[in-house]
Every structure is written in structure tokens, then in C-alpha cells.
Amino acid sequence: MSKRNPIERSQYINNQYKEYLGSSFEFKTPKLQKLFEQQLEIEDLFKGPYVDLNLPFQRGMSLDEMIADGAVCKSFHRLGDMNFERPLYSHQEESIRHICSGRSAIITTGTGSGKTESFLYPILNELMSDVENGNREVGVRAIFLYPMNALVNDQIDRVRKILTQCPEITYGFFTGETKESIPKDYREKYGAENDTFIPENELVSREEIRKNPPHLLFTNYSMLEYLLIRPNDYSIFAPERLNNWKFVVLDEAHSYYGSLGIELSLLMRRLTGLAPKKPRFILTSATLGEQGKSESEIVNFARSLTSASFDIQDIIFSKRITLSNSKLSYTIAGEDYSEIKKAKNDIQTVRTIGNKYKNIDSMELKSYLYELFVGDRNVFHLYEVLKDGSKSFKSILANFDNQIMSEQLIDLIDLINMAEKDGIGIFDLKYHSFVRPLAGAYVTLGDDPQLSLTKTNMIGELKAFEAGNCRYCNSPYIIGKIQRNEADGLEYLYQNKEVDIYENYGNNEFVSIDYFLMSNEFNEEEVDHDILEEYKVCAKCGAIYAAGNLNARRCNCGDSFQHSIFKVLQSKKDGEETAFNNINQCPCCGHKARAGVVKSLNVGKDEGTALLAQILYEAIDDGTETKKKINKISLKRKETVQSEIETSNVKQFLAFSDSRQQASFSAAFLDSNQVRMLQKRLIWKVIEDNQYRNISVDQLAATLSGMIKEGNLFQNDLSAHKNAWITILVDLLKVDGSNDGEGLGLYFFDVDITDIMSQIDEEDVEAEFGEYNITKKDLETIMQVVFGVFKVTPAINSIKSTLTPDEKMEALEYRRFDNYVMFNCPKTINGVRSFLPVKGKDNMVVRYVQKVCECDEESAKALLEVVFNNLAVAGELFKKHETKECYQIEASKYVVKNYKTSKYYICSKCGRLTPYNVHNKCVQDKCDGILSEVDPDKALASNYYRRQYKTKKIESIVVKEHTAQLDRKKAKQYQQDFKSKKINILSCSTTFEMGIDIGDLETVFMRNVPPSPANYVQRAGRAGRRKDSAAYILTYCGTGSHDYTYFCSPEKMISGVIKPPYFNVVNHKIIVRHLMATCLGFFFRQHPDYFTSIDELVFGNALEEFKNYISSHPSDLNIYINEKILPGDTYRAYHNFKWFDEIEGNDEKMEHFVSTIKSIAEEYEKAKKEAITEENYKEADYYQRQIENLHKEKVIDSLSKYCVIPKYGFPVDVVELQIYKEGIMDNSYDLSRDLKIAISEYAPDSEIIVDGKKYTSKYISLPKTGEYPRN
């Protein structure tokens, strides 16, 4: 298979997605099913691909030329990791000249435009000039402020390479990860661990940075807040250390909007107010606005954010090279594009084709293509079509009036992306596709029903009702809510679009959704009428009433529109649990489920995006395998070379989510799906290779182990042997239910009873069970069915797997237990299941035997006793417990059979496939359907999962997350592994939206539509840095109005209007927080002892002294606030401490902080005294330690936690999930959440995923306070 082009890729995604939907949702009745299939075929679930164009950046001088020109100092040559001969982009040159002229700058030049060089080079130039002029004073010259640590960390290696040979320039990174102090050998050890060299001019500890503030300081705004308050850090910003301060760089400035923009604006005023002279500001962003439209708004934003002077001339936009029509002289034939593409590795053939149009001397493919295409009218026409915005591929193709075919246009786009001369391309092209989920199925009632897969209240002139189906038998249901209309007094059956019926919370007394069977869509004889209530509903207006209510009011639409539907009541027999907002039993097939049996025709975001990620990964397959380079064996040791992996064809994409937990869950969900499908694919592969012969479990395990080891197929810490056994046990123990190999008509596990059955004659069976018409073959089938109890109990001895209990729990979930089966258990025994019923007359196995033998319970139990004791126990089929009369079956006793050599049957009622048939009776408990032979290939021809199990490519896929939950070292490792092609799919939060280096990437997947076109451009900009093919971006559009709006008009997202950020600084609450932080900073600098711990601040006299200090209106602080932070009449209300005097020094946040801490301490003291009274001294010691720890808490963390000081748009109320391993707290991850999110994500029994590990929340630790927190 050759690599799919973007159109084939889009078609593949669309087709596979619809195939999945078609196999996931099915109606039992042919009429509805046909309507569903027809509508699904034409439903617009996929948009695209669209193509957008990006022109290349204009080039300027090289660094060497700028040095010769005098614009850059000569000592710039001392800097490392730079190409001095390569021309800069013109906007980079403009930035250097503009900033070096003494101006501030706003650099907004698009993604991939080298913004870092645009601000870093002019700053380094000024520092090198200072060095040349003998100014080597210690002190900050430039502060680089980033919105997140990941961006800070991303600069470390780069700056280190540049400055290693310039010891005169110092630099340091001050974040929460920066160590307080380091041992002498730290640089050497860290360098060895990370394969790098740490020079002496890199200040790596807080002690070093305080002692000698670096010339270049990299940090984030949260840490900068701390630095301004902590007295021991103030030395960094002491006025004498800021004499040479020249720059503040605000990278990714577009992220500073709303409340965060206000916070940053005030922080910048406080920071720059410390310096004798205000530094220049450099703002950078790929997406601040549009040239020619947004200049005024951009300048206003920059002024608001920095309080510095900016003019329109300070905005630096990128300059692009437009395509000229001056060289157009020929039109290349469409077929020649395809021929050139095929011959791209043979320059002579390319020249032969191209020289028909123009004689070109170049022998290098990229430059040859460039020269060829600048004269091609087709290329210019493509430019004309796309220069004003993105267009769908179809419309582009139509613009060529059949002069170029689809495949030829695709080849042309790829060739244009390859074309390049002197590092300059013609233009770059990207493909963008959008996909949406089903939002439900909506049907009309009547003899000629209609069906829509788009939300609608009406179809034609008839009322549309939402349809669903039974998860097990596919019987169709109407889903809605009966509600009275106050206007006319009638009751109507509403769907979700008319009344919000799905957002209901509470207990089952308030279940809001009603479920109805359609009278013309079920067999009257098959339905359990005990749980049905007939209603009459109008197909025209939806008015509804109970059929038995003769006095019910009716609509005036007429009797011809009246139809019977049957409301399904919750089954409450034998104390069964009722399903919330669903029904717990289907009256058609009798199947029961606590979670409900009816599903609507929609796909959840997690399921939908995991599926699309898998399909996308398949779609980018190039038909090649990742191969190991095998080196020749040599007896000479010096010639031995390590084998290496070829990475040129590694499939990769970046998956974006809008939250860290979504990104984590997405990675885990996708990995789990991949593992499950791969496991079943491997079993089927072994069956195929074994020529469809039966294969023992031991033989299967050995073969699987070899395959897994050779292909390194599972990315976990388990051996190939253990992974092989997990693969087997997942199916053997029926972990996946109806989606396992047996349920999808592929293969099944039979216990090997050949020896037992060989000792039984047909005559013996006839004599014992002849009255039930049971043959020897029937008896064997009965044994396989009833011994299925061992699989689901589970009572399978899998000691050969060598799996530990924890490994079983991870892989087998609820089937991880090591249980036993007893023939007749007299009472409930933990870990033991009774084969015969413990309570009541029957159970599943008894009912099955009754069904196939048409006998009473006692006769069925007698037969089961023969099967269990006389045959299985006596025949040594079971493995007996050491002390009890209970048994397991060894996994090794099972044999894998398949549908190619064994018959399969389908039930007429529940639709279940099974290889077991006795007297055509369904094996499903309480199903009275009839079995008939079936060809699974035909019956499940369109089943997505079955096709995957049979044809999925056998390959290893490495999926990881990259979020703020991970520690710096692991996050950096994952980033590097992705860049070096060791990770296939990296699921990330918005961290990677900004300029983090991830190398060459062709594909991006967005799990939701980004908030704005600016965000979309940033995320899409991660792809497209490979020149051998066009980038492909796939976006999943959810069911919300925002996503659906952009699904309908993708061009508005791809090429939409980018608006500059906006905020109003005058916000009282935020201003007061910053003033409090300022006052605390001044106070702590005068009284550093009060900053050491909570003990000094809360339990001592510090706060009283603080109030007295501010009440005295210290002049230096007053001047700082009035003239530096809040100058001018706009802020007159805050001048001269008016804000403090008005509240009489009692700040609400500070008061709440103090009272809460003291209340917690009192609770601990009370608990300690009670423990002493009860002589529980161990517990008393525990509370004493808690009291001591509380008193030792860090002041700055507590002030931030209780919002006394600013939090910069971060959640005000933060909840932390504490992880314990064997009773010890594990601080490996940062699992803090906004309270609004934590209410759902951290509720007891909720599951949290981080780095592929699942944690379950168990308890809530409430604040020890007698009053509710004040806002």
C-alpha cells in the first residue's frame, strides 16, 4: 500500500468513521435500519479538506552582513549555535535594527517566523556591545517573562549553546523548579545525565542568582510575583542592581487578556517601578492582529499591558514574498506533475519532463522545482485562488476547469511545498479537515417514516422524535419527556432540543427521560407486556396521552395522526436497582443492565476522539514498516555498531485538548483502545498462520510471546510472556463482553474435554438423557456453555502467566480475581461461586439446561450434577482447592477454535452470535429466541471492530501525554522523544500551542474547535515544517454551538479574523490585591523574620505590626504606589493609602486567611487533648506534628493559596488531589484543580489519569473552620 494522499486520507477517515457509526448503531427493524443506512451515507459529518496558503518570509541581510554594516557589534561572532552566513528574515533584521535604535517593539510575525531570534539577537547585541565597552557589571539587563514553565524550559538548551563561549554574559532560569542550592559537582552530574555541558556563566541555583543576579533572567509571572514579595529575593531587583536594566520580553503576549492581562499590567508597573529608569518592552506573538486593520488596537493593548510608550511604528509585522506573474510563460500539463512526483528521487528524469517547458541548469531537485514553477501559470492560478483565504479542495479543483485532475492537483501541491531556492519556497500549503459526531437520530411516526441524523423538531410537516436502540437487541425506542404545555393544557412528548431533559441530577425519584417502544416495530409475541404502558401520540404535533385514560384531552390534528407507542416502566422485581435516566430492562430481549439498556445515537467526545485518533493514525500510514538496520556480524570488536531504528517513516501526530485531564484521559483511552484491538488482532494472526486449525492456549501463548517480543508491540514494563497471557486472558475471561472474539464471530475458547468425551458412548448418553433428545454432541455443547461460569467468575487458574495481583488488576479489571466454583455451595463464601443456585430455585446454568432439555428444575439440576461431578470432577478436568470442595479450570486446558472451521449461529430475538447450539435454543439467559446458522462474514460485514480484529496493522504505537501534571524532567523527556520520533502520538494540553520546539511534524489533531482563530493558527502551526509533504490538520467538532458553528463554516476558523487582546486595567479587586502584595513586600523587607513561617505571621504580632506600618503611610511606599504603580487622576481613589484607610486596615482576604489558619490549629489542639484524655498517645503525637507542620508552612504559599496576593488568572479556589503509595504521600505529579473542575473530577470514586496511571479519589478533606469561606 502506498502512502495515502490528503484526499484519500480524508476519504479514508470519513469512510471508516461512518463504518464505525454504522456498526455501533443498528436498528432491529429493516425499515428503520434502511433509513438509517441511507441517511448515514449522505450525512455531512466530514468537511474538507480545505487548503490554505502561507507565503514565504522575505529575506534580509545575514548576520555577517549586519556586522559589516555596523548594525551588529563585531564581538557577536563569539556567540555559538548561529549561522552567520544565512540571510535572516527581513522582520528579524528589522527587529534588530529597531530595538537597537532604542525603541520598544511589538513583534507579531506568524508561526514559524523565528520570533525568538527577533528579540534575542538585539538583546545579545547590546550586551556584547556593553562587554566591548568594558561594562561587565553584575545585574539584570533583560528579563524574559513566559506564560508557562514549559516555554522557559524550552529556552534553556538554546541559550546555553549560544552563550557557552561567552563567560562574561551570565544567565539564569528562576522558576519553581530551580533548586535553592547545589553541590559542587551538580553541573558535572546534571550535564552527564542530560548529555549536555553546563557552563559556569549559567546560574543554576537560587543562591547563585540572588548573589549575582544574571544579565539574562528567565522566569514566569507567578514566580516574578514571589520574587517581588520574598525579602531574600529582593536583592535581585535592588535599585543598584538595575542600573543597566534595558529590556523586558513578554513572549506569547496574546495570552495576556481579560483578568490575566490586568494582573500582568499591574505586575509590570510594580516591577519597572523599582528601577531608576524604565526598561524597553518587547512583546512577541504569532497572532496579535492583522496588518492594515489592527494596528491601533495592537498599540492600545501594548500600552495597557506595559504602561510604556508605543506607536504604530513599533509594530513589526512579517513581510511576505508575493508570487509575481512576470515570469509566466507556460502551462505545465497535469499528468507531468504526477510524473515529476513519481520521479522525485531521479533528477535526470525530472529534468527530462521539466525541460519540455524551460531549460534549467540546476541538478538539485528543490531549486529545479522552484525555477520550473515560478513560470507555470497553474501555480500562479492556485496562488490567485488561495491568496485571500482558505478554500475547499473541491472548489480549488473546480477553478481549474478540468485542466487538472484531482490526483494531479494533489501532486502539484506536494511539489510546491518541496520547491525551494536559497532557502525560500514559493508558498506553503496545508490541508484542514473537520469532523463532527452524530447528534442523535430523529424519526417521524407513521406508515412512511422519515429519519434525520441532524437535530430537528420537524421533518416536513410531521413531528420529529428522538430515536434510540437497545444496546443488546437493537430494538428501536422513542426517547423524550412528557410535559404539560401551560398554553393549551395538553401534554406533549418533547425531545432534548425543546426541553433540557438530559441535565437532571438527583436520585431516581426525579428520572426525567421516558422511553417508548414503537408499536409497529416489535413482535407482539416477544415483548414482556408487564413493563409496558400504552400511549397515544400525535405524529403531527407530539401531543400525548395514556391510552387507558378515556377522559384525556386530545389535540385537533385528527385521528389519522394518532399512533400507539408503549412507555417502558422500570423493572423493580426482586429489589433490582433502577437505572438513572434510562430503563434497566428491555422488554423485547429481556436483557437487564444497571446502567440502562437504551442508547441514543450519539458518540461521546472521549469515544469519538479516540476513534478518530486511531483512524487518523491508520490514514497516515505509508505502507512501510519501521525497520531495524541490521549490521553485519564482525569478529573485530571495533567494527561492532549498535543497531538503530529508521525514523524517516515514523507516523506521528500531536493531539490537542483544552485541559490537562482531557489530554491525560485521551492518551490513556487511545492507548487502551490500541492495546485491546492489537491483542485481538494478534490472536487472529496466529489463527491465520496456523491455517485455521484449533490451537491450544499454551501454544498460542508461546507464539504470541515471540511476536510481541520481536515487534516490541506493547509499551509497558511487562515481559513479552506476560503480555501474551494478558492478550489471552482478556478474551478467555470475556473482559470485553460482546466485543470479544466470540461475540464478533471470529474465535472462541473451548475447554478441552476430548479425553472425557472419548470415554462416553452415544448409547450411554441416550440411556441417561434420551428423554430430552440429547446427543453426545449436545452434551459436549452443554458442558461448554455451563462451564462458561468458570470464565466469568473467574475461576481460571492462570499461574503460568506469572502475573502478579497488581498486574492482573491493571489488565483484567473486574475479572482479575482468583475465585473458585463449588457445585452446591450451602452458603455465601467469599471467593467461591456456587454452580447450582444458593438461593431460589434456579440460576443461569439451570435455566439454560431447562431451556434446551425442556425439563423442570430438578431434572436440570440432576443433569448438571452428572456433568459437574461424574464427568468433570471424575475426569480430572478441574483443579481442586487445597482445602475446600471447590474448583478452577487451568487456562492450559483451553483450545482456541474459529469460525472458519466451526459453525456459528445467530439468535432471532437478541441477535447474539454463538458457536453453541443445542436444539436451536439461544444461549443468552432468559432469551427464548431461535438459533439459525449464520456466516459471520456476511452477518457482520460492516462491523468496524471485527474488521479491525482481522485486518489492523500489527505495529507498536507509543502514546504519551504532555501536560503541566508531569514533572519537568519527564515532560522534557517526552518532548525530546517525540522530536526524535520515539513517541508516535503526544496528547497535550494548550502548552504546545505556543512556540515549543517539537521538530518536523506533518499532522495535528485537535480534539475540539479552539476558542478562536488565533488559537487555531497557533495549534495548526505546529505542523507543516516538513518540506516533503503538505501538513494535515484534523479537528473534531463537538455538539456545542461553538464547535458546530465552525463546522458549518470552517474557513472562518482557518482564515478567520484575529482580534488583538483587550482589557481594562481599572478593576478594584485586582488593584487591591496588587497593592496588598506591594505593601507586604515592603513590610517583609523591613521585617524579614516575619516571613520565615506562618508561626511568625499568624500566631505572633506580625499582622498587627503590618497594619501599624501601613497606617503610618510610609513615604517611600506611598511614592512608589502614587507615582510608579497607579499614577494619574484615574487612580486618585488609591493614592495616599485611601484604599487602606477605608477598610481600616482589615483586608477581607487577609482576615479570612488568618481566621482559617487559626481555626485549623484550634481543631488540631482540641483533637490532641481528646486523644490524651483517651490515653491514645500515638494519635496525640500525630496531631502535635500536624500543629507543628501548620506553624512551619511557608508564608508565600499560604498567601497565594488564600488569594491575599495575586494569582494571575489561575483558579482562586484550588483543590489538590493527594496521592498516597503505601501510606506515603507521592508528590511526583501536580494534581491541582480549580474548585469548579475539582467538584466533578475529584469527587469520591472519580478516576483521574496522569501519565497513563489511573488514580481513584476516595476522600474529601474539608477545611477545619466553623464558617463558610467568604468571597
Calpha distance 451→445 (Å, rounded): 10
Mean pLDDT throughout 1006-1013? 93
Calpha distance 36→535 (Å, rounded): 25
List of E strands, 277-336: 280-285, 315-317
In 10 A of CB 448, how many CB atoms? Answer: 7
Name the residue type at position 1249: I
Contacts 24+ apart (CB under 8 A), 1014-1017: 1014/254, 1014/287, 1014/1058, 1014/1059, 1015/990, 1016/1053, 1016/1054, 1016/1056, 1017/110, 1017/111, 1017/286, 1017/287, 1017/1058
Placement of cell 474547535 in the chain = 1009
Distances 7 to 50, 396, 404, 436, 476 between C-alpha atoms, Å: 10, 13, 15, 18, 36
- Supply the pLDDT for residue 1223: 53
Mapping DSSP to helix (H, G, I), strand (E, B) and coil, where does residue 759 land? coil
- Supply the pLDDT for residue 675: 93
Mean pLDDT throughout 280-305? 94
Report the CATH superfamily, name and number, of domain 59-317: P-loop containing nucleotide triphosphate hydrolases (3.40.50.300)
> How far does the chain reach from its first CA to its final CA, in angstroms?
62
- Supply the pLDDT for residue 1218: 65
Contact 146, 184 (CB under 8 A): no
- Supply the pLDDT for residue 860: 95
List of E strands, 16-169: 46-54, 59-62, 87-89, 105-108, 142-146
- 636 pLDDT more than 60: no
Contact 1084, 1091 (CB under 8 A): yes
Mapping DSSP to helix (H, G, I), strand (E, B) and coil, where does residue 145 land? strand
Calpha distance 881→512 (Å, rounded): 50
- 912 pLDDT more than 60: yes
Contact 887, 893 (CB under 8 A): no
- CATH T-level topology, domain 605-658+958-1054: Rossmann fold (3.40.50)
Of 705-719, 787-801, 880-894, 1016-1030, the least confident: 1016-1030
Between 846 and 193, the more confident residue is 846
Distance of CA 448 to the CA centre of its chain: 43
Angular region, 1059: left φ>0, alpha ψ -120 to 50, beta rest: beta
Mean pLDDT throughout 790-797? 95
User: Are domains 59-317 and 605-658+958-1054 of this chain identical in fold?
Assistant: yes
Query: Largest alpha-carbon pair distance within the chain?
Result: 112
- Supply the pLDDT for residue 701: 97
- 894 pLDDT more than 50: yes
Instruction: State the pLDDT confidence band at 504, using cuts at 50, 70 and 90.
Output: very low
- 242 pLDDT more than 50: yes
Calpha distance 401→407 (Å, rounded): 15
Angular region, 691: left φ>0, alpha ψ -120 to 50, beta rest: left
Placement of cell 514498516 in the chain = 625
Residues 329-378: pLDDT tens digits?
999 999 999 999 999 999 999 999 999 999 999 999 999 999 999 999 99
Of 95-104, 363-372, 1085-1094, 1201-1210, the least confident: 1201-1210
Residues 1157-1198: pLDDT tens digits?
999 999 999 999 999 999 999 999 989 999 998 998 889 988
DSSP state letters, 168-219: TS-EEE-STTSBS---TTHHHHHHHHTTS---TTEE-BHHHHHHS--SEEEE
DSSP state letters, 1143-1175: TTT--HHHHHHHHHHHHHHHHHHHHHHHHHHTT
Q: In a 10 Å sphere around its CB, with 0-12 CB exposed, 13-18 middle and 19+ buried, how is residue 595 labelled?
A: exposed
Exposure class string for 687-723: b at 16+ Cβ within 10 A, else e: beeeeeebbebeebbebbbebbeebebbbeebebbbb
CA nearest to 605, candidates 735, 456, 462, 437: 437
Between 1031 and 635, the more confident residue is 1031
Residues 202-225: pLDDT tens digits?
999 999 999 999 999 999 999 999
The answer, as to whether pTM is greater than 0.95, is no
Mapping DSSP to helix (H, G, I), strand (E, B) and coil, where does residue 4 land? coil
Contact 535, 566 (CB under 8 A): yes
| Domain locations along the chain | 59-317, 328-426, 445-600, 605-658+958-1054, 674-951, 1068-1154+1191-1210
CA nearest to 1061, candidates 300, 306, 310: 300
DSSP, res 284: E
Calpha distance 647→992 (Å, rounded): 22
* Averaged confidence pLDDT in the chain: 88
In 10 A of CB 232, how many CB atoms? Answer: 14
Distances 1002 to 382, 647, 805, 814 between C-alpha atoms, Å: 22, 14, 42, 40
List of E strands, 257-362: 280-285, 315-317
CA nearest to 121, candidates 94, 96, 147: 96
Mean pLDDT throughout 442-452? 92
Residues 569-602: pLDDT tens digits?
876 655 555 667 788 888 887 778 888 889 998 8
Of 227-236, 483-492, 562-571, 1080-1089, the least confident: 562-571
> Who contacts 859 (Cβ-Cβ below 8 Å, separation ≥6)?
772, 850, 853
- Supply the pLDDT for residue 152: 83
Percent of the chain with pLDDT strictly greater than 90: 67
Calpha distance 126→133 (Å, rounded): 10
Of 25-34, 332-341, 509-518, 1120-1129, the least confident: 509-518
> Who contacts 175 (Cβ-Cβ below 8 Å, separation ≥6)?
149, 152, 153, 219, 220, 223
Residues 731-780: pLDDT tens digits?
999 998 888 999 999 999 999 999 999 999 999 999 999 999 999 999 99
